[in-house]
Amino acid sequence: MKIVLEHLTKTFPGRGKNAPDVKAVNDLTFEIPDGKLVGLLGPSGCGKSTVLNLVSGLLKVTSGKVFFDDDDVTNIPAEYRGVGIVFQNYALYPHLTVEKNILFPMENFKGDKKLSKQQMQERALAAAKLVQIDGLMDRKPAELSGGQQQRVAIARALVKQPRVLLMDEPLSNLDARLRLQTREEIRRIQRETKITTVFVTHDQEEAMSISDLIIVMKDGVLQQTGKPQEVYDNPANLFVAKFLGTPPINVFHGCVKGGKLMLGDDVIFKVKHVEDQDVWVAIRPEGFLLDKHGCLHCQLQNVEVMGRDVSIVATHPAMEGESFRAIIPSTTRVDDEAATVSFVLHPEKVLPFSKADETRIDAKLV
Amino acid sequence: MENRSMKGWLYLLPAILFLGVFMVYPLIDVFIYSFEEGYNSASQTYFGVGTYNYSYVLHDPYFLQAVKNTLILVAITVPVSTGLSLLISLGLSNIPKLRNLFQTVYFLPYVTNTLAVGLVFMILFRKTPYTDGLANLVINFFGGESIDFIDGPYWAKMFVLCLYTVWVVMPFKILVLTSALASVNETYYKAARVDGTSRSRIFFRITLPLISPTMFYLIITGFIGAFKAYSDAVALFGTNLNAAEMNTIVGYVYDMLYGDSGGYPSFASAAAIILFVIVLTITCINLLVSKKHVHY
């Protein structure tokens, strides 16, 4: 099932007298293709959970439309939309056993959807097997670990065979190791069930690693959608560039003068068809190559050996912030006694942005 | 180790002394009195030891009347007041706007003096040569005959007593239940809504189980409180409760202690012990039932 959002807007009344309304979601338009796992990504407070609630119907839209395939569900209440939700705190009913929790949604079926007791139990067991908790059916939620509760929540959301599965920060309550494991698990379950799944996260690594498609938001406004690698390689603006990637992208003050892209006094690339102007230049940590005759001359601060690779912490006069970080393979030998270090830059990892509105300047660097 | 436990007892001493002198000792004393026949508190003498006190009390028509009254009062007011409080609390938690105002209004009876409220009830229900009272005016309006609720038939008096008790105990229950309802996590309701759960099913399968500890707390304390009813009856019917057929068990104990010419402490003690046994039994039953139905 395809989900289409058209000019979706949600405002909340401001607190206090004469306070302006807060636009949590502002004119959002995008399409989520059928059967994909989509990560809704943004810093906290950017409105991503609100979008999820608008899709589920738990919140009413202020304006705009929500379509499931060709059905306009904008004014259909949550219970008739056929969505399954996994809440951030899982919202498992604490007084019911795992089995009863999973049975709960099916017991609400009415009319010709109504199932016999045996059918319900079969489906509950199938859902439990899918998330590998079929051995825990008689436990109460309090007797389960965080990861197991998470699985029960997924089973409960899936058992009614929803048209859409929505997850609100599904991994945020798990510890680091379990998070890695569970995100693989979510990927596997989504592949097996082929249900269109939207999950909300503020962790870019999480979103990039398992999504077919990511949607980046900021302050209620859509920034960019696309495949994770595409968005990483071609961010539409400085915010997206900064938000994706660990360690974060390095930002420099630069300028274009007479067809040359300059960082301070260093000419790093030639550019064509770009007017002279001040620009932001963002360089991915992996875009630096150590070279004695390189074009970018920096003061070396520190060399950190990580085993797999080496990160060089250095400063440059045109740098935004204190220092930047370059990551190079550990096979390269670095003289950590040296005072200066020079780099050549990988043209695809160097991203110029307009200083005026922080949008990407589409220019070929040579 | 020895030293440490000494220290521990020292810390406990004030509480132990206080409870011992004012709670445990009197309790034991009452138990002893209840077996001492014809105990006289002035001369501290008694005739003999035996179960005569119990036999007397259990054959006293006034005591049987008091037990009957108390049981009726308990059986009616505990379920009615708890049920009504739950309904009102549910209503309160569903109106966001005037919630604070109504919460205050419903809490007012709790801070009002029992006797003052009793007086108001008397004015509402009493029939005097000048007026039949507000309640009778309403009955007359619907074409009924005037009834004397204070000096009239038994059922009318019992009705007023029950109504009064329910009215007095509800504020506290509403207060506790509204906060219990507010503490139920909102996401349970969201999860249920997304699954298309009907309102009644949400209430019986989610809300009620989640507030069940509070419900049972209220039921148990409600039972105990209703068994100990006394001042409510005095407020409505005056001190001569036996004559009004409206005595309660505690009222009977009080009358036996301070009634005509010095009183009968032995009979009072026996009645008090009987009340204690009844309350203990009911509370144990309550706890056993609650183990089955209360989650957590």
- Domain end call among A213, A243, A273: A243
Nearest C-alpha of chain A: how many angstroms from B175? 24
The answer to the question of residue A210 being in a domain is yes
Residues of A in contact with B192 (CB under 8 A): 104
Whether the CB of A105 is below 8 Å from some CB of chain B: the reply is yes
pLDDT value, residue A187: 92
Contact (CB<8Å) A91/B190:
yes
Cα–Cα distance measured from residue A226 to residue A228, given in angstroms and rounded to the nearest whole number: 6
The answer to the question of residue A329 being in a domain is yes
A274 and A132 belong to one structural domain: no
Helix (H) or strand (E) holding B135: helix B134-141
pLDDT over 60 at A200, yes or no: yes
Mean pLDDT of A196-201: 93
The count of domains in chain A is 2
A116 and A261 belong to one structural domain: no
Cα–Cα distance measured from residue B148 to residue B125, given in angstroms and rounded to the nearest whole number: 7
Whether the CB of A80 is below 8 Å from some CB of chain B: the reply is yes
Q: Which amino acid is at B291?
A: K
Residues of B in contact with A95 (CB under 8 A): 209-210, 212, 295-296
pLDDT value, residue A124: 93
State the residue for tokens 């919460």: B103
**Cα–Cα nearest to A336, from A300, A289, A298, A297:** A300
Mean pLDDT of A82-99: 92
Mean pLDDT of B212-241: 88
A190 and A120 belong to one structural domain: yes
Nearest C-alpha of chain A: how many angstroms from B190? 7
Q: What pTM does this model have?
A: 0.79
Condensed to tens digits (0 to 9), the pLDDT of residues A203-253 reads 888 889 889 999 999 999 999 999 999 999 999 999 999 999 888 999 999
Q: Which amino acid is at B185?
A: N
Cα–Cα distance measured from residue A236 to residue A290, given in angstroms and rounded to the nearest whole number: 28
pLDDT value, residue A13: 86
3-state secondary structure chain A: CCEEEEEEEEEECCCCCCCCCEEEEEEEEEEECCCCEEEEECCCCCCHHHHHHHHHCCCCCCEEEEEECCEECCCCCHHHCCEEEECCCCCCCCCCCHHHHHHCCHHHCCHHHCCCHHHHHHHHHHHHHHCCCHHHCCCCHHHCCHHHHHHHHHHHHHCCCCCEEEEECCCCCCCHHHHHHHHHHHHHHHHHHCCEEEEEECCHHHHHHHCCEEEEEECCEEEEEECHHHHHHCCCEHHHHHHCCCCCCEEEEEEEECCEEEECCEEEEEECCCCCEEEEEEECHHHEEECCCCCEEEEEEEEEECCCEEEEEEECCCECCCCEEEEEECCCCCCCCCCEEEEEECHHHEEEEECCCCEECCCCEC
Condensed to tens digits (0 to 9), the pLDDT of residues A161-197 reads 899 999 998 888 888 888 888 888 899 999 988 999 9
pLDDT over 60 at B296, yes or no: no
Residue B137 DSSP one-character state: H
Condensed to tens digits (0 to 9), the pLDDT of residues A47-84 reads 899 999 999 999 999 999 999 998 899 999 888 888 99
What are B123's two structure tokens?
């004015």
A-chain residue closest to B212, CA distance: A95
B-chain residue closest to A84, CA distance: B194
Cα–Cα distance measured from residue B294 to residue B277, given in angstroms and rounded to the nearest whole number: 25
Whether the CB of A84 is below 8 Å from some CB of chain B: the reply is yes
Mean pLDDT of chain A: 90
A238 and A284 belong to one structural domain: no
Q: Which of residues 268-327 of A touch B (CB under 8 A)?
A: none
Nearest C-alpha of chain B: how many angstroms from A151? 15
Contact (CB<8Å) A108/B201:
yes
Selecting from A91, A95, A109 the residue whose C-beta is nearest the C-beta of B295 gives A95
Mean pLDDT of B101-111: 84
Contact (CB<8Å) B190/A85:
yes
Going by pLDDT thresholds of 50, 70 and 90, the confidence category of residue B77 is: very high
pLDDT over 60 at B261, yes or no: no
- Domain end call among A243, A269, A284: A243
A261 and A236 belong to one structural domain: no
pLDDT value, residue B46: 79
| Domain coordinates in residue numbering, chain B | 61-293
Condensed to tens digits (0 to 9), the pLDDT of residues A127-163 reads 999 888 989 999 999 999 888 999 999 999 999 889 9
Whether the CB of B7 is below 8 Å from some CB of chain A: the reply is no
Whether the CB of A85 is below 8 Å from some CB of chain B: the reply is yes
Q: At what angle do helices B52-59 and B61-94 cross, to 10 degrees?
A: 70
The answer to the question of residue A256 being in a domain is yes
The answer to the question of residue A360 being in a domain is no
Burial B270-286 (b: 16+ CB within 10 A, else e): bbbbbbeebbeebeeeb
* Lowest-confidence pick of A158-162, A326-330, B38-42, B89-93: B38-42
The answer to the question of residue A363 being in a domain is no
Q: Which of residues 124-163 of A touch B (CB under 8 A)?
A: 160
* Lowest-confidence pick of A148-152, A327-331, B23-27, B260-264: B260-264
What interface predicted TM-score (ipTM) does this complex get? 0.81
The answer to the question of residue A233 being in a domain is yes
B-chain residue closest to A90, CA distance: B187
pLDDT value, residue A86: 93
pLDDT value, residue B126: 80
Selecting from A85, A89, A93 the residue whose C-beta is nearest the C-beta of B194 gives A85
Going by pLDDT thresholds of 50, 70 and 90, the confidence category of residue B260 is: low
Cβ atoms of residues A97 and B295 within 8 Å: no
A205 and A177 belong to one structural domain: yes
A269 and A194 belong to one structural domain: no
A200 and A314 belong to one structural domain: no
Whether the CB of B137 is below 8 Å from some CB of chain A: the reply is no
Contact (CB<8Å) B194/A84:
yes
pLDDT value, residue B262: 60
Mean pLDDT of B18-32: 92
Cα–Cα distance measured from residue B243 to residue B240, given in angstroms and rounded to the nearest whole number: 6
Cβ atoms of residues A297 and A352 within 8 Å: no
* Lowest-confidence pick of A5-9, A16-20, B12-16: A16-20
Whether the CB of A79 is below 8 Å from some CB of chain B: the reply is yes
To the nearest whole percent, how much of chain A has pLDDT over 70? Answer: 100
A295 and A191 belong to one structural domain: no
A66 and A129 belong to one structural domain: yes
- Domain end call among A208, A243, A278: A243
Contact (CB<8Å) B188/A160:
no
B-chain residue closest to A97, CA distance: B295
All residues at 6 or more sequence positions from A125 whose CB lies less than 8 Å from its CB, including other chains: A134, A137
pLDDT value, residue B135: 81
Cα–Cα distance measured from residue A208 to residue A214, given in angstroms and rounded to the nearest whole number: 7
A103 and A230 belong to one structural domain: yes
pLDDT over 60 at B18, yes or no: yes
pLDDT over 70 at A271, yes or no: yes
Cβ atoms of residues A93 and A139 within 8 Å: no
Whether the CB of B61 is below 8 Å from some CB of chain A: the reply is no
Determine the structural domain holding residue A254 and report its residue range.
250-354
- For domain B61-293, the question of CATH label 2.60.120.10 is answered with no
pLDDT value, residue A329: 87
pLDDT value, residue A351: 93
Selecting from B194, B205, B206 the residue whose C-beta is nearest the C-beta of A79 gives B194
Residue B259 DSSP one-character state: S
* Lowest-confidence pick of A96-100, A109-113, A254-258, B176-180: A109-113
Nearest C-alpha of chain B: how many angstroms from A315? 48
pLDDT over 80 at B150, yes or no: no
What are B54's two structure tokens?
């119990």
pLDDT value, residue A65: 92
The answer to the question of residue A124 being in a domain is yes
Cα–Cα distance measured from residue B178 to residue B214, given in angstroms and rounded to the nearest whole number: 10
Residue B44 DSSP one-character state: T
A48 and A63 belong to one structural domain: yes
pLDDT over 70 at A8, yes or no: yes
pLDDT value, residue B245: 84
CATH number of the domain at A98, please. 3.40.50.300
**How far, in Å, are A10, A221, B258 from residue A224 at the CA level?**
19, 9, 86
Cα–Cα distance measured from residue B162 to residue A13, given in angstroms and rounded to the nearest whole number: 47
Q: How many CB atoms lie within 10 A of CB A250?
A: 22
Going by pLDDT thresholds of 50, 70 and 90, the confidence category of residue B295 is: low
pLDDT value, residue A280: 93
Contact (CB<8Å) B194/A94:
no
pLDDT value, residue B63: 92
Q: At what angle do helices A176-193 and A117-130 cross, to 10 degrees?
A: 130
**Cα–Cα nearest to B26, from B197, B207, B276:** B276
Bridge-based pairing of strands A37-41 and A196-201 is parallel
pLDDT value, residue B278: 92
